[in-house]
Amino acid sequence: MIEVEKLTKRYGQHVAVDDLDFSVKRGEILGFLGPNGAGKSTTMNIITGYISATGGTVRVDGHDVLEEPEEVKRRLGYLPEAPPLYLDMTVTEYLDFVAAIKRVDAKEKRRSMEKIMDLVKIDDVSGRLIKNLSKGYRQRVGLAQALIGNPPVLILDEPTIGLDPKQIIEIRNLIKDLGQEHTIILSSHILPEVTAVCERVIIIHRGKIVAGDTIENLSRSLRGSHRLAVRVAGPEAEVLGKLRSLAQIKQADALGSREPETVDFYVESEGDADVRRPVFEAMSESGFPILMMRSVDLTLEDIFLQLTTDEAIEREEVQ
């Protein structure tokens, strides 16, 4: 549905987007992940035809955004980083205007308008001026705007920013539902959001793709070992010695004390070995009660940090 090839955007000497290649299949939800200034918004602005690329091509449904901009724009709903709202209009007036410039015909408009307002839950503020709305409501009006005309492709730039936790969950579920009929690109720097909503993630950093895969594959490829966090009531040095003496443990570190008279440890096992039982037995032999034990899997946060912090990248290059 969306094909991006060799996309590059330069601002003078600064390269904002550097040789990006990816594609999104029909009905897929793609997560676009990266720290601030990574080039997420720039890429989205190019796909939607707001700015032009320095090099490379973008095709939506087979139409090139440079050659047939109107064909592409007809198929897109776009929620930019800052929702493009006219503050001096009421919500209904605004959505009517959007429907008019998207050339939605009157019958279709009447049918879809109520559905959309109900979907993003803004029907209770439909008659109010947008400038009097809270940030959360404005964000939802922005989302409603993107949905008008029922475009097959949705480009959402940080759609849940400025919402409270309850609204965030609502919007995420909404996006998931929309994903059944629409092709969606969603950008975020909130990682759980991407895990919750997207099937596939592209991580970009400094305008380059540093990783692109399904979330499971990403965490599997980066996870070489199992890790445990353990809280033990006992003297630090002795417990550490016991842990290190166990056969299947690659590494054990003390993390310090968070609860009086206990010490937290970080235990890393060799390969896929399950070390919970040996750890328990070793501790109970010595009479040090284990107060907490939990496995620490690599979350998207870890993946993200590993891929995007410069130290991690440099370390990779050295190896």
Partner 1 sequence: MLAVMIREFRAYFQSITGFVFMGFFLLISGFFFTLMNLLQSSPDYTSVLGSITFVFLLVVPILTMRLMTEETRQKTDQLLLTSPLRITDIVLGKYLAAQAVFLMTLVITILYPILLSFVGRIAAMEVIGAYIGFFLLGSAFIAVGLFISSLTDNQVVAAVVTFSALLFMWILDWIQQAVPSDRLSGVIFAALLVTGLTLFVFLTIRSWILSAGVLLAGTALVVILFLVNPQLYQGLIVRVLEWFSLLERYNDFSRGILSISPIVYYISFSSAFIFLTVRVIEKRRWQ
Q: Which residues bind partner 1 (CB under 8 A)?
A: 11, 45, 48-52, 70, 73-74, 76, 78, 80, 82, 84-89, 97-98, 100-103, 145
Output the smallest distance, CB 174 to partner 1, in A: 20
Given the complex with partner 1, which of 45 and 112 has the nearer CB atom? 45
Output the smallest distance, CB 202 to partner 1, in A: 21
Given the complex with partner 1, which of 22 and 78 has the nearer CB atom? 78
10 Å CB burial of residue 273 (0-12, 13-18, 19+) is middle
| 24 Cβ neighbours under 8 A, 6+ residues apart | 1, 2, 30, 183, 185
Given the complex with partner 1, which of 56 and 84 has the nearer CB atom? 84
Alpha helices (H) in the chain, listed in sequence order: 40-47, 69-74, 91-101, 106-119, 135-147, 165-178, 191-197, 215-222, 236-245, 276-286, 300-308, 310-318
Output the smallest distance, CB 172 to partner 1, in A: 23
Given the complex with partner 1, which of 103 and 166 has the nearer CB atom? 103
Output the smallest distance, CB 163 to partner 1, in A: 19
Output the smallest distance, CB 185 to partner 1, in A: 14
Given the complex with partner 1, which of 66 and 190 has the nearer CB atom? 66
Output the smallest distance, CB 88 to partner 1, in A: 4
Question: How is the beta sheet containing 76-79 ordered, strand by strand?
Answer: 76-79, 153-157, 183-188, 29-33, 200-205, 208-214
**DSSP for residue 303:** H
Given the complex with partner 1, which of 100 and 292 has the nearer CB atom? 100
Asked whether the beta carbons of 307 and 205 are under 8 A apart, the reply is yes
Residue 156: other Cβ atoms inside 10 A:
25
